[in-house]
């Protein structure tokens, strides 16, 4: 069993409007996932440093960031970052631009978790429905162009308010959605903006939105999670 999670951490600013990265780390530790996709992981202005200091992440959690080699002090790219448990082997990482009026991108990593090869993509899509569909297609085309066909997990804040339309239709052609439920707004969730999607060789065993007293305060989004297992063949086969 492998647990994955996605979290729009809002630059570590909680619903109390206080920036407390240590609180964000506590939520990550509660999730206890093998792989986490983060959105809004970097500060917006200045050096765009990581909202969670790298040293704090290393000393107060069981996670390490997939090294994207973009800028010193940052764990993300256009706010997207991937975390893995420290024993997890990162085989490859890749960044790609997404079509948009403002700079947006997605991050990809091939990782080995307990002998299972997984291809993971983290994303934060546009507020505009037209651009979201273009971005979804760009991500899917990028995956089609890459070598190999490992089990694939797509995670992030899709900003899609519809139940099954828009960019969800594009992703659903080849992926199943984990039924994680409503994640926004954290205090009173009414929208399913955050999504976990998996290739059809993976089975979603369990999933949900992580609702605790801490997660309701740490960001305006609740983190979501899914427990996955192989469906018909070994992971990475």
Mean pLDDT over the full length of the chain: 94
> What separation in angstroms does the CA of 235 have from each of 40, 141, 177?
30, 22, 18
CA–CA separation, 17 vs 19, rounded Å? 7
DSSP-assigned beta bridge partners for residue 195: 156
| Amino acid 237: pLDDT | 46
Q: Which domains are present in the chain? A: 2-230 (3.60.10.10)
| Amino acid 74: pLDDT | 85
| Amino acid 103: pLDDT | 86
Which residues in the chain land under pLDDT 50? Answer: 234, 237
Q: 125 with 157: CB under 8 angstroms?
A: yes
How large is the C-alpha radius of gyration of the chain?
16
| Amino acid 234: pLDDT | 47
Kindly state the percentage of the chain with pLDDT values over 70.
Answer: 96
Q: 159 with 193: CB under 8 angstroms?
A: yes
pTM of the model: 0.94
Q: Specify the long-range contacts of residues 74-77, CB closer than 8 Å, at least 24 apart.
A: 74/42, 74/47, 74/48, 74/49, 74/50, 75/38, 75/41, 75/42, 75/50, 76/38, 76/41, 76/42, 76/50, 76/107, 77/105, 77/107
pLDDT, tens only, 40-87: 999 866 567 899 999 999 999 999 999 987 777 789 999 999 999 999
Encoded tokens for 48: 């765009």
Q: How many CB atoms lie within 10 A of CB 69?
A: 10
The residues, any chain, with a CB within 8 Å of residue 52's CB and separated by 6 or more, are 9, 12, 21, 24, 25, 41, 75
| Amino acid 47: pLDDT | 65
| Class of residue 97 by CB neighbours under 10 A (exposed 0-12, middle 13-18, buried 19+) | middle
């Amino acid at each position: 069993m492998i647990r994955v999670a996605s979290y729009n951490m809002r630059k570590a600013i909680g619903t109390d409007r206080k920036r407390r990265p240590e609180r964000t780390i506590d939520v990550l530790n509660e999730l206890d996932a093998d792989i986490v996709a983060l959105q809004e992981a970097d500060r917006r202005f200045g050096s765009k440093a990581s909202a969670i200091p790298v040293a704090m992440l290393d000393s107060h959690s069981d996670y390490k960031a997939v090294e994207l080699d973009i800028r010193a002090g940052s764990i993300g790219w256009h706010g997207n970052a991937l975390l893995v448990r420290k024993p997890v082997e990162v085989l490859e990482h890749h960044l790609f631009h997404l079509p948009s009026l403002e700079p947006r991108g997605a991050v990809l990593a091939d990782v080995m978790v307990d002998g299972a090869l997984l291809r993971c993509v983290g994303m934060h899509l546009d507020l505009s429905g037209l651009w979201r569909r273009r971005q979804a297609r760009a991500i899917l085309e990028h995956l089609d162009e890459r070598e190999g066909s490992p089990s694939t997990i797509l995670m992030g804040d899709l900003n899609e308010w519809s139940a099954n339309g828009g960019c969800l239709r594009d992703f659903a052609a080849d992926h199943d959605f984990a039924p994680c439920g409503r994640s926004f707004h954290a205090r009173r969730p009414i929208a399913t903006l955050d999504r976990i999607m998996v290739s059809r060789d993976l089975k979603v065993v369990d999933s949900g939105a992580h609702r605790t007293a801490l997660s309701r305060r740490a960001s305006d989004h609740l983190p979501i999670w899914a427990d996955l297992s192989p469906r018909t063949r070994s992971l990475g086969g």
